[in-house]
Amino acid sequence: AGSLQSLQTQYNTTLSQITALTADTGYAGTNLLNGNNLTTFFNANRTSSLTTSGATFNTAGLGLTNANFQSASAITTSITQTQAALTTIRNFGSTLSTNLSVIQSRQTFLTSQINTLQTGSDALPNGDQSAEGAGLLALQTRQSLGSTSLSLASNAPQSSRKLFP
């Protein structure tokens, strides 16, 4: 009987720890284990999203009650409640895993897209001012030489007329 009492005390202590743990597992105001939902948006205008539904995993939400291990039927009731709670937790874990997979796939896609855009922008000329200045000076010099040669070419026939009157 003393051993059953000790097991009962341990079981009930574990139940109170479960309730305390679920109350403390939130992040940034969201606690999926205490019934809050989490919405993950995939684009800037917030039209594409995934909502991860939370569950209440305190002892009441899991359907667990304090144990009284004084009879076989009471022990069986605690075992049945514990097995049902484990099934609920496993199902929730499966849902979280599926949602995580979707989020990771979107993250991989967006990371790849960002890298492609970054590579493209890095390939654009950065506008080296020294090179651009030298190119502009060369262009101005060619233009000036072109104007001078046109001027000389138009004066050449007049010069040859002066030589042969």
Q: Note the pLDDT tens digit of each residue in 113-155.
A: 989 988 877 776 666 677 778 888 898 998 888 888 777 777 6
pLDDT above 90 for 98: yes
CB 52 within 8 A of CB 35: no
Phi, psi dihedral angles at 47 (to 5 degrees):
-100, -15
Q: Note the pLDDT tens digit of each residue in 8-63.
A: 999 999 999 999 999 999 889 999 999 999 999 988 899 999 999 999 999 999 99
Write down the pLDDT at residue 64: 95
Give the C-alpha distances (Å, rounded to integers) separating 48 from 44, 111, 122. 9, 17, 29
Task: Tell me the C-alpha distance between 133 and 144, whole Å.
Answer: 16
Task: Tell me the C-alpha distance between 112 and 95, whole Å.
Answer: 26
